[in-house]
């Protein structure tokens, strides 16, 4: 994967089919890397030809809810709207089904992932901080029917990996809890009371902190892998699953070995909004985005933005942040790309964009979903 981006991905030749569209976790994968290594159509060379293919309005309601970013799998796009969750045909935008929030019309922004034919969703009621009514459900991706639900702790983070679903959170009283469930039926596998686990899994290893230090666990069995006396709150992991990216108590970004918890490097600056492609780590820093060398943590480039950078997204050698597209290698702005504020994912030669109550799909002008040339609409 590192080799793909080292020189910038090349566009797929005319007549060659792009990889099947897949972005089945909010952050692309269980590592929460926000990096799609399979994108070969929308690249540094072609992003300036992005054209809107279709756009559909998302459901609205009188609620405290917010729209979510999209998740793509099995020919469908799943997105949280103000009334619940809806599924759309990935090729045409036709709505296939909708699921309404449980308890009320006030579900918070959902965490979502697709696995084993299920859309796993975790969210909190956005109306009450003291009584957030956390919900963990699994919906059939074909029709939106609920297959199981589980009594969940506060949904601060949710990880889906290796046939398991981990939910972790800390309530207003400062009490943390982590519970892991089996994807197939929602049965509880193990729990870690008093411990808060971050939002990424590194090939089945998760890490969490509590008073006295941090521990890493096997996500399926709960077996402990290592213990350190430092604070490890994972924000992302490398695509190879060998490094966690986390924060220390001095607000520095820290690269931690997944094998034993040892520190590989540290770098100054904020840590919450990170993408990683194996060669570089991309960090949103207010109205700027920076790329760090994944081996050393040294800054490779930094680009000032005209707006808040938000979550960086990396695919096809392109970094999307602050509504613009950048060359992942050089940090230069790519001309001709439409404004892209909001949440987006890039997969299978399509950029899916959720913004201001609409879900929009962009493709490369003259390049069809089957790999042949086509018009746009």
Q: How confident is the model at residue 366 (pLDDT cuts 50, 70, 90)?
A: confident
Integer CA distances (angstroms), 288 to 32, 70, 112, 246, in order: 21, 24, 27, 19
Q: How confident is the model at residue 124 (pLDDT cuts 50, 70, 90)?
A: confident
User: What are the φ and ψ backbone dihedral angles of 3, each rounded to 5 degrees?
Assistant: -65, -30
Instruction: Quickly count: other Cβ atoms within 10 Å of residue 242's Cβ.
Output: 16
Q: How confident is the model at residue 9 (pLDDT cuts 50, 70, 90)?
A: very low
Q: In this predicted model, what pLDDT tens digit does every residue of 193-229 receive, in sequence order?
A: 999 999 999 999 999 988 889 999 999 999 999 999 9
Cβ 18 vs Cβ 349: under 8 Å: yes
Rounded Cα distance between 179 and 199, Å, is 13
Q: How confident is the model at residue 131 (pLDDT cuts 50, 70, 90)?
A: low
Sign of CA dihedral 220, 221, 222, 228: negative
8-state DSSP, 16: P
> What is the reported pLDDT for 104?
52
Q: How confident is the model at residue 367 (pLDDT cuts 50, 70, 90)?
A: low
Higher pLDDT, 106 or 168: 168
> What is the reported pLDDT for 74?
96
Q: In this predicted model, what pLDDT tens digit does every residue of 37-63 receive, in sequence order?
A: 999 999 999 999 999 999 999 998 777
The CATH number of the structural domain formed by 2-7+24-55+147-361 is 2.40.128.630
> What is the reported pLDDT for 245?
95
Question: What is the chain's Cα-based Rg?
Answer: 20
> What is the reported pLDDT for 235?
87
> What is the reported pLDDT for 114?
98
Q: In this predicted model, what pLDDT tens digit does every residue of 220-275 receive, in sequence order?
A: 999 999 999 988 878 899 999 999 999 876 778 999 999 999 999 999 887 779 99
Q: In this predicted model, what pLDDT tens digit does every residue of 288-328 receive, in sequence order?
A: 999 999 999 999 999 999 999 999 999 999 999 999 999 99
pTM: 0.90
Give the least confident one: 68-82, 122-136, 161-175, 304-318: 122-136
Q: How confident is the model at residue 128 (pLDDT cuts 50, 70, 90)?
A: low
> What is the reported pLDDT for 16?
56
All structural domains of the chain with their residue ranges: 2-7+24-55+147-361
- Per-residue tokens: 37: 């290594």
The set of residues, in sequence order, having a beta carbon less than 8 Å from that of 222 and lying 6+ positions away, is 180, 189, 190, 191, 192
Instruction: Quickly count: other Cβ atoms within 10 Å of residue 344's Cβ.
Output: 22
Average pLDDT of the segment spanning 107-132? 84
Tell me: pLDDT of 185 over 90.
Answer: yes
> What is the reported pLDDT for 252?
87
Cβ 263 vs Cβ 219: under 8 Å: no
Q: In this predicted model, what pLDDT tens digit does every residue of 58-110 receive, in sequence order?
A: 998 777 777 899 999 999 999 999 889 999 999 999 999 999 987 555 567 88
């Amino acid at each position: 994967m590192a080799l793909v981006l080292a020189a910038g991905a090349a566009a797929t030749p005319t007549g060659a089919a792009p990889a099947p569209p897949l972005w089945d976790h909010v952050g692309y994968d269980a590592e929460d890397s926000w990096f799609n290594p399979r994108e070969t159509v929308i690249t540094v060379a072609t992003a300036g030809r992005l054209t809107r293919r279709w756009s559909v309005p998302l459901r609205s309601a009188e609620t405290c809810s917010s729209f979510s970013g999209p998740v793509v799998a099995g020919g469908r796009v799943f997105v949280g709207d103000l009334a619940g969750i809806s599924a759309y045909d990935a090729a045409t935008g036709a709505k296939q089904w909708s699921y309404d929030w449980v308890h009320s019309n006030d579900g918070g922004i959902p965490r979502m992932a697709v696995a084993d034919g299920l859309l796993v969703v975790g969210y909190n009621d956005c109306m009450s901080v003291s009584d957030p009514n956390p919900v963990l459900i699994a919906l059939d991706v074909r029709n939106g029917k609920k297959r199981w639900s589980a009594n969940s702790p506060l949904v601060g983070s949710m990880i889906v990996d290796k046939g398991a679903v981990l939910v972790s959170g800390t309530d207003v009283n400062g009490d943390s809890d982590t519970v892991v469930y089996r994807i197939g039926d929602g049965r509880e596998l193990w729990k870690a009371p008093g411990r808060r686990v971050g939002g990424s899994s590194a090939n089945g290893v998760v890490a969490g902190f509590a008073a006295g230090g941090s521990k890493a666990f096997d996500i399926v069995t709960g077996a402990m892998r290592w213990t350190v006396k430092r604070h490890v709150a994972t924000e992302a992991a490398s695509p190879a699953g060998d490094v966690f990216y986390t924060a220390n108590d001095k607000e520095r970004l820290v690269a931690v070995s997944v094998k034993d918890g040892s520190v590989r490097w540290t770098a100054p600056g904020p840590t919450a909004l990170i993408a990683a492609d194996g060669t570089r780590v991309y960090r949103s820093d207010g109205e700027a985005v920076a790329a760090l060398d994944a081996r050393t943590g040294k800054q490779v480039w930094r680009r000032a933005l005209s707006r808040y950078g938000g979550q960086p997204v990396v695919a096809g050698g392109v970094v999307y942040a602050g509504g613009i597209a950048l060359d992942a290698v050089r940090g230069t702005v790519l001309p001709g790309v439409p404004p892209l504020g909001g949440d987006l994912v890039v997969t299978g030669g399509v950029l899916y964009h959720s913004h201001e109550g609409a879900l929009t799909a962009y493709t490369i002008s003259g390049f069809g979903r089957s790999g042949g040339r086509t018009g746009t609409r």
